[in-house]
Chains A and B, each alone.
Chain A
Amino acid sequence: MTLGVVMLVHTGFDRAAQMVRHWSDAGCPVVVHVDSNVGKKAYDQFVQSLADLSDVRFCARHRCEWGTWGLVAASQEATTLLLEEFAQVQHVYLASGACLPLRPVQELRAYLEARPDTDFIESATTADVPWTVGGLDRERFTLHFPFAWKKHRRLFDRFVQLQQAVGYKRAIPDGLVPHMGSQWWCLTRQTLDAILQDPNRATYEKYFRRVWIPDESYYQTLARLHSRKIESRSLTLAKFDFQGKPHIFFDDHLELLQRSHCFVARKIWHDANLLYQVFPRPSDPSIASQEPNSSTIDRVFSQAVERRTRGRQGLFMQSRFPSTDRQNCIAAAPYAVLHGLDDVFPDFQSWLTKQTGAQVHGHLFARDRVHFADESTTYRGGLSDSARLRDYNAKMFLTNLIWNGRDDYHCFQFGPSDSQDIRWTLAKDTQASIWVVSGAWSIPLFASGRSASDVRAEAARLQRIEDLFLKRLRSPQAYARIKITTLAEFIEAPMEMLQSIIDEIAGHKGNALTEVPKMADLKGFPDFLQDLKNQGMHPFLTGNITVGNTGKSSSPQRRKPYVISQK
């Protein structure tokens, strides 16, 4: 019993010839099909280069365009010849000129001899696998495809749409259940004979000629009809990228390929000299009975697909520039925006750092300069503290900051005195948690000691800016986690929000608060607000602040903090 090889070749003739010799030297007869697009000179040269091999034949040639019937016609032609000429062949292996045997061919033969009735062909029903590119799975069996997908994409798509629109469906011949899978199979003589001599072959052919990418479905479907025993997997390791194109193996894949114990791999880069030199590996009885296992390679290549299609969240770079109009997850990691809290608690930043260990920045968007957590002039990644540079592209300043330090949780103070370009980004970003104490800007004005008439204009300006920010936060497009409370509500029960903030930042590591930050001295604050009102400037964002509620919280130390964690 022998293994025979059908090899489809359209380019890279020197490598193809090398592969033919590998198979032939190991005692496998080979029938080669050369694409009829190949010129006479190249073809003759190729045939000549293999003239010394007695068990090699060249079959009649078909035109092999990707995704068309020609590829099936070619393998039918070659298989027929192989089965006729070499009676001893029991298994037929379909390979290409870029398929490289990784293990000694003897090991493959032994493997097949131990499984004389098994057909190795990946074959799955279209309903169950989402493999296909372009969304055509079931429909590739029920529509017409007269236009080449690669050359006339627009016509191809239009025609598909037209058929979909009119609800056109071709009838699938009786008895056939469409299956598809890798085009690289290894079938038994019996199964192939049954397929090639099927009384209905003409009907099936007529049907499959019009199926899209028939080389991935013709044998896969018919084997289901005739095979005694199908192992639905390919013995050829072939990985595909997100567009359905085969991945190429290079010299630096050597170790991966070695560890896979696969019999054959494709596609091998034409100039991967090291791979062509090392494989097929010499026979080694200690590993001769290893089962193929490509899980490591699978992982590497599916990571590549993942990187190409999904990329790294929060990274904006030269070849990844997701449109933020269409997506709401902007930064690389969750972060917190603390609006107004440092007005209520003058040393809030150092207190929060102590409580959480997070990167607690000052006002990143302050108008004078960027106040990084460590007040340095440059920060991770080489970010400058220049306000001008930051405002030139505020959104990317933020995404860079979070990306560079994505292992840490970042929080920063924000308020109406800051540069406001960033507010839309903050409101939209699902990574942001925004904690707002509205009207808190009035406390520094009060603490400045200036009279209400002096600060009236400034207060009105800050309130206007903050109000705009709040409007953004309340818009339907605001996807951030947002908690807004008025200054009056906040100072009545500050612990509640503080505990929520700590829990959110520190996660499970958060402890019940034992130490409360020191609140600004609010003695006389209600009078100040009343004065503002008397000047005609109503601080409506602060809520209703009375002597009562300021008095209570101006001495929070006396209250025993008792908070039930939110989580």
Chain B
Amino acid sequence: MPVADRTKQIASDDILLFCTFRNEDVRLPFFLDYYRKLGINHFLLVDNDSDDGGHDFVKEQPDVSLWKTKGAYGEARYGVDWLTYLQGKYADGHWALTVDVDEFFVYPFCDTRPIRALADWLDASQVRSFGAMLLDMYPKGPVGQAHYQRGSDPFEAANWFDPGNYIMSKNKLLNNLWIQGGPRARTFFASKPKQAPALNKIPFVKWRKPYAYVSSTHMMLPRGLNLVYDQQGGEKTSGILLHAKFLNTFEDRVVEEAARGEHYNAGREYKTYAERHGTDPDLWCQWSEQYINWRQLEILGLMSKGNWA
């Protein structure tokens, strides 16, 4: 159900952002700011029955089209179905970035080149999809003590990450890489590593009508879009989604989502958090790295410039 439909403004080569959210009023202002600065032209947002002020806030934004739904998040394949419909309708022929409200896209040269430069370069290279691994960011000290203020940069508080403990294997069915690891595998899932959350993501795609995400933005159909990695030893160009999950907002989310049980596998991940660490874990360790910029992530080998220079 459209709340604010400004899709008529979308120009033929606009770069679009797709996102579903629920009760994210506190995060939305910085989120929109961040992506406007990268050069997103239009935001297509789906509000999953929020009851805070976020709905009214985004409704008034001049570059946002907003839909609202009351359907349960879990039933609609974690929000993917709603977005698939909108993507099919509005994204055909556009570059489309699909992210969550707590995911911040970083790509090579993102501090000097707008996202259109990336899109144009990918077009020129005849690349249709662009991978960006999810990188969990966390504060030094208990997560609950990293206070996030509406509108501020979440990575001022949560600016640490695990630099070198990611493992991956190939999903033979869809040809995507399945990546796990990071602080969540290390702390919450050490005894059941198979259940550790997937970190592989393919958020930036030159959209065509029949395309569809299969599970969140982890993998896609047709399968060729999942080949964002090289198998001969070379490196394809890739980015990172900085994940601003572990802030004081995490605590409320864990309690709420564990009770709602609508995320993947009835919110198993959130239940694990709640059981294992209370809701206020400390993820920092002596090998944590403090975030500086994309070049640091490139040198560490978490993302790659590939042949973009």
Residues of A whose CB lies within 8 Å of any CB of B are 241-243, 245, 247-248, 250-252, 269-271, 300-301, 303-305, 307-313, 315-323, 327, 376, 378-384, 386, 388-389, 392-393, 396-397, 400, 403-404
Known: A319-B235, A319-B238. 5 other contacts (CB 8 A): A318-B132, A320-B234, A388-B192, A393-B167, A400-B164
Chain A residues in 8 Å Cβ range of B125: 241, 243, 245
Q: Which chain B residues numbered 128 to 153 have a C-beta less than 8 Å away from chain A?
A: 131-133
Cα–Cα, bound, A53→B132 (Å): 48
Cα–Cα, bound, A250→B114 (Å): 10
A to B CB contacts below 8 Å, 14 in the list: A250-B109, A252-B112, A303-B309, A307-B234, A308-B234, A311-B234, A318-B229, A319-B303, A319-B304, A321-B231, A323-B231, A383-B164, A400-B164, A403-B164
**Do the beta carbons of B306 and A304 come within 8 Å of each other?**
yes
**Do the beta carbons of A311 and B233 come within 8 Å of each other?**
yes
**Do the beta carbons of A308 and B235 come within 8 Å of each other?**
yes
Given A251-B113, A252-B113, A382-B163, the answer on whether A311 and B235 have CB atoms closer than 8 Å is yes
Residue in A251, A300, A404 whose CB lies within 8 Å of B309: A300
Q: With CB as the reference atom, state the residue of chain B lying closest to A404.
A: B164
**Do the beta carbons of B183 and A327 come within 8 Å of each other?**
no
Interface string of B86-123 (1 = CB under 8 A from A): 00000000000000000000000100111011001100
**Do the beta carbons of A250 and B117 come within 8 Å of each other?**
yes
Let me know if B48 is at the binding interface, CB within 8 A: no
**Do the beta carbons of B167 and A392 come within 8 Å of each other?**
yes
How distant is B40 from chain A, measured CB to nearest CB, in Å? 15
Let me know if B16 is at the binding interface, CB within 8 A: no
Q: With CB as the reference atom, state the residue of chain B lying closest to A254.
A: B112
Chain B residues in 8 Å Cβ range of A305: 307
Chain A residues in 8 Å Cβ range of B238: 317-319
Q: Closest 3 CB pairs between A and B? A: A381-B164, A308-B307, A382-B162
Let me know if B301 is at the binding interface, CB within 8 A: yes
Chain B residues in 8 Å Cβ range of A304: 305-309
Chain A residues in 8 Å Cβ range of B76: none
Q: Which chain B residues numbered 255 to 300 have a C-beta less than 8 Å away from chain A?
A: 285-288
**Do the beta carbons of B232 and A378 come within 8 Å of each other?**
no
Chain B residues in 8 Å Cβ range of A251: 112-113
Given A303-B309, A311-B234, A382-B287, the answer on whether A400 and B116 have CB atoms closer than 8 Å is no
Cα–Cα, bound, A320→B131 (Å): 11
Chain A residues in 8 Å Cβ range of B288: 382
Given A242-B307, A381-B162, A403-B164, the answer on whether A307 and B117 have CB atoms closer than 8 Å is no
**Do the beta carbons of A380 and B120 come within 8 Å of each other?**
no
**Do the beta carbons of B131 and A319 come within 8 Å of each other?**
yes
**Do the beta carbons of B307 and A319 come within 8 Å of each other?**
no
Question: By CB atoms of chain A within 10 A, which of B124, B163, B232, B307 has the most?
Answer: B307
**Do the beta carbons of B287 and A318 come within 8 Å of each other?**
no
Chain B residues in 8 Å Cβ range of A250: 109, 112-113, 117
**Do the beta carbons of B231 and A317 come within 8 Å of each other?**
no
**Do the beta carbons of A319 and B120 come within 8 Å of each other?**
no
Let me know if B165 is at the binding interface, CB within 8 A: yes
Chain A residues in 8 Å Cβ range of B191: 386, 388
Residue in B185, B285, B304, B307 whose CB lies within 8 Å of A317: B304
Interface string of B156-171 (1 = CB under 8 A from A): 0000001111111110
How distant is A8 from chain B, measured CB to nearest CB, in Å? 17
**Do the beta carbons of A245 and B124 come within 8 Å of each other?**
yes
Cα–Cα, bound, A392→B180 (Å): 11
Q: With CB as the reference atom, state the residue of chain A lying closest to B302.
A: A317
Cα–Cα, bound, A250→B309 (Å): 9
Let me know if B194 is at the binding interface, CB within 8 A: yes
**Do the beta carbons of A241 and B307 come within 8 Å of each other?**
yes
Q: Which chain B residues numbered 180 to 206 have a C-beta less than 8 Å away from chain A?
A: 182-183, 185-186, 189-194, 200
**Do the beta carbons of B163 and A381 come within 8 Å of each other?**
yes
Chain A residues in 8 Å Cβ range of B252: none
Given A304-B307, A305-B307, A380-B164, the answer on whether A320 and B236 have CB atoms closer than 8 Å is yes
Residue in B120, B133, B194 whose CB lies within 8 Å of A270: B120
Chain A residues in 8 Å Cβ range of B286: 376, 378
**Do the beta carbons of A379 and B177 come within 8 Å of each other?**
no
How distant is A173 from chain B, measured CB to nearest CB, in Å? 35
Cα–Cα, bound, A378→B228 (Å): 30
Chain B residues in 8 Å Cβ range of A247: 309
**Do the beta carbons of A269 and B303 come within 8 Å of each other?**
no
How distant is A60 from chain B, measured CB to nearest CB, in Å? 28
**Do the beta carbons of B183 and A307 come within 8 Å of each other?**
no
**Do the beta carbons of A307 and B305 come within 8 Å of each other?**
yes
How distant is B113 from chain A, measured CB to nearest CB, in Å? 5
Interface string of B219-230 (1 = CB under 8 A from A): 000000000111
How distant is A16 from chain B, measured CB to nearest CB, in Å? 16
Let me know if B65 is at the binding interface, CB within 8 A: no
Given A242-B307, A319-B304, the answer on whether A404 and B163 have CB atoms closer than 8 Å is yes
Given A250-B117, A312-B235, the answer on whether A319 and B230 have CB atoms closer than 8 Å is yes
Q: With CB as the reference atom, state the residue of chain A lying closest to B304.
A: A319
Cα–Cα, bound, A216→B114 (Å): 33
Let me know if B179 is at the binding interface, CB within 8 A: yes
Let me know if B237 is at the binding interface, CB within 8 A: yes
Cα–Cα, bound, A243→B230 (Å): 14
How distant is B250 from chain A, measured CB to nearest CB, in Å? 19
Cα–Cα, bound, A251→B114 (Å): 10
How distant is B39 from chain A, measured CB to nearest CB, in Å? 9
How distant is B157 from chain A, measured CB to nearest CB, in Å? 20
Cα–Cα, bound, A397→B181 (Å): 11
Chain B residues in 8 Å Cβ range of A392: 167, 193-194
Cα–Cα, bound, A407→B54 (Å): 49
How distant is B226 from chain A, measured CB to nearest CB, in Å? 11
Chain B residues in 8 Å Cβ range of A303: 309
Cα–Cα, bound, A2→B191 (Å): 77
Chain B residues in 8 Å Cβ range of A248: 120-121, 124
**Do the beta carbons of A269 and B285 come within 8 Å of each other?**
no
Question: By CB atoms of chain B within 10 A, which of A305, A322, A383, A389 has the most?
Answer: A389
**Do the beta carbons of A307 and B306 come within 8 Å of each other?**
yes
**Do the beta carbons of A320 and B304 come within 8 Å of each other?**
yes
**Do the beta carbons of A271 and B168 come within 8 Å of each other?**
no
Chain B residues in 8 Å Cβ range of A393: 167-169, 193
Given A271-B114, A307-B305, A320-B230, the answer on whether A384 and B235 have CB atoms closer than 8 Å is no
How distant is B114 from chain A, measured CB to nearest CB, in Å? 7
Cα–Cα, bound, A378→B109 (Å): 32
Chain A residues in 8 Å Cβ range of B133: 317-318
Q: With CB as the reference atom, state the residue of chain A lying closest to B130.
A: A319
**Do the beta carbons of A396 and B164 come within 8 Å of each other?**
no
**Do the beta carbons of A318 and B200 come within 8 Å of each other?**
yes
Q: With CB as the reference atom, state the residue of chain B lying closest to A252.
A: B112
Q: With CB as the reference atom, state the residue of chain B lying closest to A251.
A: B112
**Do the beta carbons of A382 and B303 come within 8 Å of each other?**
no
Cα–Cα, bound, A490→B164 (Å): 38
Q: With CB as the reference atom, state the residue of chain A lying closest to B161.
A: A382
Q: With CB as the reference atom, state the residue of chain B lying closest to A390.
A: B193
Residue in A318, A381, A388 whose CB lies within 8 Å of B228: A318
Cα–Cα, bound, A313→B301 (Å): 11
Cα–Cα, bound, A392→B191 (Å): 10
How distant is B78 from chain A, measured CB to nearest CB, in Å? 21
Chain B residues in 8 Å Cβ range of A376: 286
Cα–Cα, bound, A271→B170 (Å): 38
**Do the beta carbons of A378 and B231 come within 8 Å of each other?**
no
Chain A residues in 8 Å Cβ range of B303: 317-319
Cα–Cα, bound, A561→B109 (Å): 58
Cα–Cα, bound, A317→B162 (Å): 14
Chain B residues in 8 Å Cβ range of A323: 231-232
Given A319-B228, A321-B230, A382-B163, the answer on whether A389 and B307 have CB atoms closer than 8 Å is no
How distant is A228 from chain B, measured CB to nearest CB, in Å? 38
Chain A residues in 8 Å Cβ range of B166: 317, 396, 400
